[in-house]
Amino acid sequence: MIPHRLQTNHRGVFVLKDFQFRWLSRVSCADLEAKSAYEEKLLRYACGVLRGALANLGLEAAVTANAQAPACSFSVQLKS
């Protein structure tokens, strides 16, 4: 299986899929609510890192994430 995939609609929207996102694969907790809250914090941080990296390249973007551990999908929409 391919661990990563990048797709686009050629209109400024990109979807980066990681089927084995390491940050999520290492989360372990008996309480499911605590686990999902921690995963949400990790995804917010990852979105911020992507947004910051793109900003340093001069690209303003909105980044959102969806996850089903250990897979994760980041949606990047470039602002024009």
Helix (H), strand (E), coil (C) string for the chain: CCCEEEEECCCCEEEEEECCCHHHHCCCCCCHHHHHHHHHHHHHHHHHHHHHHHHHCCCCEEEEEEEECCEEEEEEEECC
**Total of domains in the chain:** 1
Write the CATH number for 26. Answer: 3.30.1380.20
pLDDT at 23: 83
pLDDT digits (tens, 9 = 90+) for 20-35: 888 887 778 888 888 8
Span 33-49, pLDDT tens digits:
888 888 899 999 999 99
Higher-confidence residue: 63 or 29?
Answer: 63
CA distance 18 to 66: 11
Average pLDDT (4-26) is 85
Answer positive or negative: Cα dihedral of 23, 25, 26, 29.
positive
Q: Indicate the pTM of the whole model.
A: 0.84
Residue numbers of the domain that contains 28: 4-78
